[in-house]
Amino acid sequence: MNDKWRVRQVAVAALMLLGGIQAGCAQSLADQAQAQAKAQAQAQAKAQSAAQTTANVAASTVAEQDPAAASVQPQAESAAQPLPGAPVALTPEEAQQNAAGNVAELQQMIRGSDLNELRTTYNGTYGASLLFYGKEMTYYVALFQNKTFWRVIKTSDETRAEAIYRDFAQKTLQLSDVEIRRTRLEAQKAFTARMIALTQDHANRLQADLTIARQQQALVADQQKQTRAQANALQVEKAAAQDQLRAVQRQVQELQRQVEGGLPVQ
């Protein structure tokens, strides 16, 4: 009986010891998981901070190269799937590549024949292109002005490349608004100046015609006055001549009677 009781006590003690070991292991694993999650969160926060710093540096560089682009730089990095119409935030890797010299890399590659131009959008002197490097299945999304690249994003994600291209295309639309407005205003100004010149020329011609007409009218009026005076003088001379003619005719008649005086009447 004592042996059975001792065996039972040993079994209970063994079970208690095993439970304590399992609890300790479980607590240790929980502590390790919590520490690992904390480390991962800190690493992710550091990566996001570094990406944001790199993006700010890249944005500052772009702003120095083209001040007009400063007003349309992407906002702080958001979720992986951007809202429709919202700027596409760069991943830390893309931001690092952009700062490391994607522009120079694309400028070298574009001289060859391995790049395929998939899409291009032009607005004024600004443009956006989506290029594909098939050997490495890599996409290059470029924003440029006057054929000069000033922002290039490199990615192997087709969906993301298309999203960035749409974002760049929208930027070209925004950047070109002032340029297109200036072009239209310059054209309107030139057109108005030309219309002013044509209208002024027409006015000058009309003024010249009016001056000639007035001069001619004055000349005609003077000629009319002289002609009228001449006509009046001729009228007087005509009346005098007619009187003289009648007098001469009477004289002729009188002389005719005198010549024929005493001659038989037929």
Per-residue pLDDT of the chain (266 residues; tens, 9 = 90+): 555 556 566 555 555 655 554 444 444 444 554 555 565 556 555 555 554 544 444 444 444 444 333 333 333 333 333 433 445 565 665 555 554 578 888 888 888 778 999 999 999 999 999 999 999 999 999 999 988 888 999 999 999 999 999 999 999 999 999 988 988 899 999 999 999 999 999 999 988 988 999 888 888 888 888 889 888 988 998 889 888 989 888 888 888 888 877 666 55
Burial of 92 (0-12, 13-18, 19+ CB in 10 A): middle
User: How many structural domains are present in the chain?
Assistant: 1
Question: Does 99 reside within a domain?
Answer: yes
Write out the two tokens for 49: 């901070």
Give the whole-angstrom CA distance, residue 170 versus residue 14: 72
Cβ atoms 172, 123 nearer than 8 A:
yes
Sign of CA dihedral 249, 250, 255, 257: positive
Residue 118 lies in a domain: yes
- Cα–Cα distances (Å) from 47 to 51, 78, 131, 252, in that order, read 6, 14, 28, 143
Rounded CA-CA distance 248/266 in Å is 26
Q: How many helices and strands (H and E) does the chain possess?
A: 4, 4
Domain membership flag for residue 136: yes
Residues, the chain = 266
Phi, psi of 6 (to 5 degrees): -65, -40
Separation CA 129–CA 140 (nearest Å)? 8
Whether residue 192 lies inside any domain: the answer is no
φ/ψ of 154, rounded to 5, equals: -110, 130
Is residue 116 one of the residues assigned to a domain? yes
Say what the pLDDT of residue 131 is.
94
Residue 105 within a domain:
yes
Q: Report the C-alpha gap between 155 and 161 in whole angstroms.
A: 7
Q: pLDDT at position 101, please? A: 79
Tell me the C-alpha distance between 153 and 233, whole Å: 104
Closest CA to 163 of 87, 232, 77: 87
Model pLDDT, residue 144:
94
User: What are the tokens at 177?
Assistant: 């608004």
Q: Which domain holds residue 117?
A: 65-175
Residue at 127 is within a domain: yes
- What pTM was computed for the model? 0.43
- Tell me what pLDDT residue 197 has: 94
CB contact at 8 A, 163 and 88: yes
Q: Does 96 map to a domain?
A: yes
